[in-house]
Amino acid sequence: MSDKSSKKLVVTLIISFVIIASFTGIMGFVSINVTKNSINQLVGEQSTTTANSALNKIDLSISNKISELRELASDSRIQNQLLQYERNSESIDGLISTKLQEKKSFYQNQLDYSVFSRILVTDSFGNKVGDTESARFENLSDELWWGETRESFVFVQDVSFDEYLDVNGIEISVRMDDKRGNFIGIIHALYNFEDIVRIVDETKDESQFRTSEFDLFDEYGFLIHSTSEMDEERFIGDYISDTSSNVYIELDEQFEELELKQSEILFKYGIVEPELTEKQEIQLDMKLEPLERQYDQIFRSLDFENPSFREEQELEAQLDELDEQHTTILREYGFVESELTESQEEELESELIALEEEFDSIYDDFDFDFTFGGKGFAILGTTGDIEILHSYSRQMGYQEFPGLGWTMMIHTEMDEILSDANAQQNSLLISILSVTIIAGLLGIYFARIFYGQSKKITEIEQMSVIGQLSSNIAHDMRNPLGTIRSSVERISDQNKGENKHVIQEVERIKRSVNRMSHQVEGVLNYVRTTPLISDDHSLKDMLSYAKESIQVSSNIEIVMPENDVTIECDQEKLEITFVNLILNAVQAIDKSDGTIKIRISEKSDNVMIEFENSGIPIPNEDIAKVFEPLFTSKLKGTGLGLSSCKNIIEQHGGKISVISDPVVFTVILPKKQKEHV
C-alpha cells in the first residue's frame, strides 16, 4: 500500500468517525426523551421477573424436598422394617425413627434450623411406625393427606400452623411402594415455612429492589409472608382496589353480576344464601375443600362395576357422614337448604358448574396496566400522594410439584425511581456531549494507528519474501553440505589415524558442517508448514529418540520420565520439537555440570511435558521474546528453533510456555487431535 493511498484512507476514516459521533449524539438526544410510562413498564417487567424468580426458587425447593423424601422412602432398611412389622405385627426396634432423625438433623447442622420440622412413617394401614417427634402410637389413615397420598403418590398441602410443634409448615407426603410396586406405607413431613421465608428474603437482598416490599399470598389471597414490618392482616384484593386505574371497578362489576346470578339460581331451588364478607367466603371455601377431596377419594376407591353389598353399605354411611359435616358447615355460615329431588339436584349442579366457568373466565382478557406474558402483570396504584407499582406473579410448580396457587407481589415506590431517572438523563446529556468529542479524537487517533499498521503490513510482506528466499537458499545449501560431509568421511577413512593433524582438521570440518546443517534445518522447519500426519505414538519413545539424536557431553545428566502416555500426533514434527527443546537446554548448561529433567503428567484430556534445566536463568526482559522468530541470545544459531517449536505445538492444538529460575519449558498437548487439523 502506497503512502498516498494510506493518507487517503486516513482522511476517509476521520470523516467516518466524525459522522458516527454526530449520529450518536443525535440518537442520544432523542433517546433521553423517556416517558414516565416506559419507566413504569421497565420497572414492572424487572420486578415481575424478580417475583417470578422467587416463586421458581420456592417451587424448586419444594420439588427437591419431594425428591429427598422419595429417596428416603426407597431406603431398603426402612422398607424391610415396614414389611417385618406388617408380618409380625410387633413393634419395631426404632431404626426407622433413627433414619428419619438423621435426615432432620442433617439440615439442622447445615443451616442452624430444621428444614423438616417433623418426619414420620406409617404402614399400609395408617399405623405410625416411626416419628422424629413422638413415640406415641397413632393410626393416621383418617387424615386427609394419608388418603390423598395413597391414591396420587405425592401430596402437598398448603401452609398451616402446627399447634403441637408451634411452627408454620407445608405438609409433604410421599407414597412408599416395595420393589414389586405394592403399597407398603407413607412418609409424611412438615417442611418448615422458615425455609420459604429465607428464599424470599434472599431473593430480595440479591435483587435491585432491596427497598421494595415483597409479599407472598396463599391460594385464597391471604398474606402468608411479608418483608415489611407491618403486622396488620392484608388481602391481595386490597392492592387491586387501591389502584388508580379502573381495574377494581371493572372487576367488582363483573363479580357482582355473577354473584347476583348465583343468588337467583339458588333462590329458584329454595336455597337461601346469606351475605358473607369476602374473608368469610374464602374461609368457607377452605373448610369445604377437604370435604370435596374426601368425596373424590371415596368414589375413586369404589369398584363401580361389581360393588359388594358391604361396600354399598360402607359407601352410604361415609357419604351420610360427609353430607352431615357439609350441612353443619353451611348452617354455621347461615345457609338454609331445602329438600331437593335427585333430578333437581342434577339441574342445580349443572347450572352452578356453568356459572363457575364464567367466574374463571373473568381474568382471561382483562386489561391490566402492564402485562409480561406468563411471568405476571403490574398495576399502578397510589397511597396518598405516592405512586406505587404492584407487580404480580403466580406460582407455576415444578416437576412433581404442581404448585399451591401462591402469588408473589413486589410493591415499588416510583417517585424515587423517577427522580433517579431524571438525574440520569442529565448525566446522559453530559456524557453524550463528551462521547461526541472523544469519538472525533479517537477517530483521528485510530486513523494514525491504522496508518502505522499499514506500514507494518508492508514490512511483514517483505519478511515473507525474505523467508521464501531463505527457504530456497537453505534447500540449495543442503546438497553441498552433504557432499562436504561425505568427502570428509572418506578422508577420515583413508587416514586411519596416521596423521593427527589431518584428524584434527577433519573433526573441525565435521563440527562446522553439523552446525550449518542444524541452522539449515532450523530455517526449513520454521518456514515450511505441512499438514499433520497423525497417529497414536508413545511420548516416551519420541523423547528417547530426541535424546539419542543429540550429542550430550558427560557433564550433563538427562533424567527421562518413568511414566508414558500415548497421544495422537505427527511423530516426525514432535520429535523435531523435542530435539530443539533438549538441545536448547544442553546449550544453556554449556560446559558446567548440570541436569535436564523431563517430566510427563496427565490432566484430563491433555498431557503436559516439562523440560527443566539447571542452566543460567533467562533474563526477565527476554522471557516474552524467546518464541519470536530471529530472537537468540547465543552467538551461534538462527533464532528460529523455539519459534519453530511454537508453530508445531500450536498446529497440534497445544500451547508452549516458559518460566525462569529454574528454567522450565512446558508443552501442553491434547491426547486426541480434532478433525481437519
pLDDT band at 602 (very low <50, low <70, confident <90, very high): very high
pLDDT band at 249 (very low <50, low <70, confident <90, very high): low
Is there a contact between 139 and 126 (Cβ–Cβ < 8 Å)?
A: yes
For the structural domain made of 531-670, what CATH number should be given?
A: 3.30.565.10
Domain boundaries, the chain: 60-206, 531-670
Question: What pLDDT sits at residue 88?
Answer: 66
Task: Give yes or no on whether 60-206 and 531-670 have one common fold.
Answer: no
pLDDT band at 148 (very low <50, low <70, confident <90, very high): confident
Question: What pLDDT sits at residue 243?
Answer: 44
Mean per-residue pLDDT of the chain: 76
**Residue 580, pLDDT above cutoff 70:** yes
Integer distance in angstroms from the first to the last C-alpha of the chain?
33
22 versus 578: the higher-pLDDT residue is 578
Question: What pLDDT sits at residue 32?
Answer: 45
Question: What pLDDT sits at residue 330?
Answer: 81
98 versus 653: the higher-pLDDT residue is 653
Question: What pLDDT sits at residue 93?
Answer: 53
Question: What pLDDT sits at residue 233?
Answer: 63
Inter-CA distances, 80 with 138, 176, 448, Å: 21, 12, 82
Most confident of 205-209, 561-565, 630-634: 561-565
Mean pLDDT of all residues in 50-54: 87
**Residue 570, pLDDT above cutoff 60:** yes
pLDDT band at 526 (very low <50, low <70, confident <90, very high): low
Question: What pLDDT sits at residue 7?
Answer: 56
CA geometry: angle 421, 423, 426, nearest 5 deg: 110
**Rounded to an integer, what distance in angstroms lies between the CA atom of residue 148 and that of residue 292?**
12
DSSP state of 550: S
Residue type, 312: E
Contacts 24+ apart (CB under 8 A), 332-337: 333/274, 333/276, 333/280, 333/284, 334/274, 334/276, 335/271, 335/272, 335/273, 335/274, 336/271, 336/272, 337/270, 337/271
**Residue 604, pLDDT above cutoff 70:** yes
Mean pLDDT of all residues in 237-241: 56
Report pTM.
0.44
Least confident of 85-89, 141-145, 356-360: 85-89
Mean pLDDT of all residues in 280-293: 74
For the structural domain made of 60-206, what CATH number should be given?
A: 3.30.450.20
Nearest residue to 68 (alpha-carbon basis) of 116, 135, 117: 116
Share above pLDDT 70 across residues of the chain, in percent, rounded to a whole number: 66
Q: Which residues pair with 157 in a beta bridge?
A: 171
**What count of other Cβ atoms lies within 10 Å of the Cβ of residue 66?**
21
